[in-house]
Amino acid sequence: MTNTIRLRDVNLHYASVAFRERSLKSLVAGWLSQGRTKRDLSDIHALKDVSVRVDQGERIGLLGHNGAGKSSFLKMVAGLYPISSGSREVRGTVRSMLDLSLGFEPDATGRENILYRGLLLGLSPKAMRSMEAEIVEFADLGEFIDYPLKTYSVGMQVRLAFAVSTSISGDILLLDEVVGAGDARFMGKARSRIMNLVEQSEIMILASHDLTTVRQLCQRGLVLAEGRIVLDAPIEQAIKFYEKNFSG
């Protein structure tokens, strides 16, 4: 089967209340104190009439300022966000590094969370047990691997999540600047591991503000602005357009 991504006139909306509120408690409190306003009932139009085709072997860089729609685009391709209209066709196994904390249980140990996240990613308990030793070694958490996750620092949680997420390869790799914590030694290991995943993937889409990395890894660029693709071009042309119109 040929790995492909086909998006035709895709629109994606968020309910603005869910987008702005962090918890059910704060949502209810807001309603009781202020009542529902017209703004509460509106939607956020995150992606607008997006049409693009990505074929096997392509390396795509997503460029755009914060709020342009890059993360929404990746999560939509991954199937995490249902589209409002249009069509989305993705052929191939998707492996995404978009929300490293997804599937983690604070009261469970690091070792138990390896299993939980693996199940969330679609693997069997047997498969996760076969990979556990390698994941534990890569995360390099020492005795903390058997401590509850709530005792971990942010950096330790990122290391464990990264170790689990990158232990599983896929045909389509989605990246969103996820490694932001850890010492220099771990960051070096992490970059090496990401490079291996990129080489193994059939399709790669990277959203990043690091233009040096985008130049190194991508051959084609999509520039997003206000939820729309405003340019689809070779990566160098896309970067120059982004720098001229949106950077700085």
pLDDT digits (tens, 9 = 90+) for 193-238: 888 888 999 999 999 998 998 999 999 999 999 999 999 999 999 9
- Single out the residue of 57, 55, 60 nearest to residue 70, CA to CA: 60
pLDDT band at 16 (very low <50, low <70, confident <90, very high): low
Q: Which of 93, 92, 90 is nearest to 122 (CA)?
A: 93
What confidence score (pLDDT) does residue 119 get? 85
Question: Domains along the chain?
Answer: 4-33+43-92+206-245 (3.40.50.300), 110-201 (no CATH)
Global pTM reads 0.81
Sequence-distant (≥ 6) Cβ neighbours of residue 56 within 8 angstroms: 2, 3, 4, 202, 203
Closest CA to 230 of 12, 62, 13, 79: 62
Predicted pLDDT of residue 84: 94
Phi and psi at residue 228, in whole multiples of 5°?
-115, 150
Q: Each residue of 168-205: pLDDT tens digit?
A: 878 999 998 755 555 677 878 888 888 888 899 999 99
Q: Which residue has the higher pLDDT, 120 or 196?
A: 196
Q: Residue 27 has what pLDDT?
A: 47
Range name among 84-88, 100-104, 146-150, 243-247 with the lowest pLDDT average: 100-104
pLDDT digits (tens, 9 = 90+) for 44-98: 899 999 999 999 999 999 999 999 999 999 999 999 889 999 999 999 999 888 7
Specify the pLDDT at position 221. 98
**What's the pLDDT at 17?**
55
**Residues forming a β-bridge with 54:** 5
Residue 35 reports pLDDT greater than 80? no
Q: pLDDT band at 32, cuts 50/70/90?
A: low
Specify the pLDDT at position 158.
85
% of the chain beyond a pLDDT of 90? 58
- Phi first, then psi, for residue 154 (nearest 5°) are -60, -45
* Mean pLDDT confidence for 6-32: 66
Greater pLDDT, 11 or 98: 11
Structure tokens at 75: 């999560």
97 by Cβ neighbours in 10 Å (0-12 / 13-18 / 19+) ranks as buried
Nearest to 113 by CA among 138, 143, 80, 147: 147
pLDDT for 23 equals 45
pLDDT at 178: 54
Q: How confident is the model at residue 105 (pLDDT cuts 50, 70, 90)?
A: very high
Distance CA 3, CA 38 (A): 43
